[in-house]
């Protein structure tokens, strides 16, 4: 059975991860904050604004509806810039209790100095969280240049599902 994954954030990193996940035979949804830009992505199948030069396969579902992007997903990849992270996470209302939230945002919350995983816990309660981090650049990952990233989780059963 295909893993159902939503990538929340249509920037370069979010688009790259969506491309990689669809290659790994996941059922992928890519969420855009801007409904007009989501329509552009759907029609052109290219992220010309944030990640030009890469075709977005038809298998990737594109939406600007946060509820439909997060309901009934196995994994919810949070690829939103840290300065917008809390406001987006705060609006996530529909998700499975079994879903694993994967933070891939770089940086900390400026006002509070909190890590994104802490923001997730504050806004969504005690949910399943993993964090992907490392010295990677979206373009280089997309063209398959070697890099190294680490996925960490507090609970082993979460890490194993990754």
Average pLDDT over residues 131-157: 93
pLDDT at residue 1 is higher than 90: no
Indicate whether this model's pTM tops 0.85.
yes
Average pLDDT over residues 91-99: 95
Average pLDDT over residues 79-98: 96
Confidence of residue 46 (pLDDT cuts 50, 70, 90): very high
Average pLDDT over residues 116-144: 95
pLDDT at residue 130 is higher than 80: yes
Q: For the chain, what is the mean pLDDT?
A: 96
The pLDDT score that the predictor gives to residue 161 is 83
Q: Please name the fold of domain 4-161.
A: Rossmann fold (3.40.50)
Concatenated DSSP letters for the chain?
-PPEEEEE--SHHHHHHHHHHHHTT-EEEEE-S-HHHHHHHHHH-EETTTEEEEE--TTSEEES-HHHHHTT-SEEEE---HHHHHHHHHT-----TT-EEEE---S--TTT---HHHHHHHHH-S-EEEEEESS--HHHHHTT-----EEEESSHHHHHH-
């Amino acid at each position: 059975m295909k893993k159902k994954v939503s990538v929340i954030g249509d920037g370069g990193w979010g688009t790259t991860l969506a491309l990689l996940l669809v290659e790994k035979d996941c059922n992928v949804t890519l969420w855009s904050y801007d409904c007009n830009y989501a329509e552009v992505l759907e029609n052109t199948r290219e992220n010309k604004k944030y990640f030009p030069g890469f075709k977005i396969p038809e298998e990737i579902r594109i939406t600007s509806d946060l509820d439909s992007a997060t309901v009934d997903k196995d994994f919810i990849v949070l690829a939103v810039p840290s300065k917008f992270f809390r406001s987006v996470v705060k609006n996530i209302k529909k998700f499975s209790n079994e879903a694993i939230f994967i933070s891939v945002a770089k940086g900390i919350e400026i006002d509070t100095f909190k890590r994104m995983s802490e923001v997730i816990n504050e806004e969504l309660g005690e949910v399943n969280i993993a964090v992907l981090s490392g010295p990677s650049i979206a373009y280089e990952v997309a063209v398959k240049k070697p890099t190294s990233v680490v996925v960490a989780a507090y609970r082993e059963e979460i890490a194993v599902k990754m």
